Amino acid sequence: MNVWPPYPPEPLPRRTPWQPQPAPPPTSTPNAPSWSFNVDTRPDWLTERLLERRLMALAGELDRDAGNQTVAELALLDASGDQPVTLHLTGVSADLDTALTVVDALDLTGVEVHATCLGAITGAAVAILAVADRRTAGPHATVHLREPAPPHHIAGRDLDTYAQHHERQLRRLQNRIAQACHRPIDAVAADMRAHRVLTAEQAREYGLIDSLSSQDSRAGSGVDATAAPPKTPPELAT
């Protein structure tokens, strides 16, 4: 049926120049699956799982944010139980102030902290390993004793003040390492100036660690790691 006069078309909505254009309707992808996964995308899910087991892991450069996070995790584990805390150190380095902050937190922790060193631990971060209650290192770990370098962004008018602060903090660090290793502070300071590198066995002799992890695992199985291998009986030798 024809209608006269025809209905006029609906006018388009009037839009001002500062109003954005409406978003186009979403398009559906053909053959897209109708199901989805529930994946935990939180960046700290691994940290939460470790903390549930009273484990902490530090790796790489320990900056101020990572140091503050470490202090908070130590306080949380100290308040949540009496069992020891296991601290894994993998290739850790740190600036002077951050390392001393973590050292102070370790000194104030009421539960034992068992530290395990893997890879190379460098500079001021050595003190974090040294002050732990029980210190273990992997057989291929290395300890690099060296003085932490001061930052380069200090203004000229503040340079003298910061130099004095850096010297005091460095002396505190060397004194804390010397106490943990039962060595004279001047000997530790000289080794740090010389950038002395210690193997795991040398670090144990130095007093920075108590044992090697391979020896701990063998001790649990009843095998003496320091014992010589059994000799082959003469009748079986070829």
Query: Hey, where are the domains in the chain?
Result: 53-212
pTM of the model as a whole: 0.70
Supply the pLDDT for residue 23. Answer: 62
Between 128 and 7, the higher pLDDT residue: 128
Supply the pLDDT for residue 105. Answer: 96
Supply the pLDDT for residue 213. Answer: 85
Digit-coded pLDDT (tens) for 64-93: 999 999 999 999 999 999 999 999 999 999
Is it the case that residue 14 has pLDDT exceeding 70?
A: no
Give the whole-angstrom CA distance, residue 113 versus residue 109: 8
Give the whole-angstrom CA distance, residue 96 versus residue 111: 25
Is it the case that residue 226 has pLDDT exceeding 50?
A: no
Q: Which residues of 175-193 are buried (b: 16+ CB within 10 A; e: fewer)?
A: ebbbebbeeeeeebbebbe
Calculate the average pLDDT of the chain: 80
> For residue 6, how many C-alpha atoms fall within 13 Å in the half-sphere facing its CB?
4
CATH architecture of the region 53-212: Alpha-Beta Complex (3.90)
pLDDT-derived band at 162 (thresholds 50, 70, 90) equals confident
Q: Which helix (H) or strand (E) holds 186?
A: helix 185-193
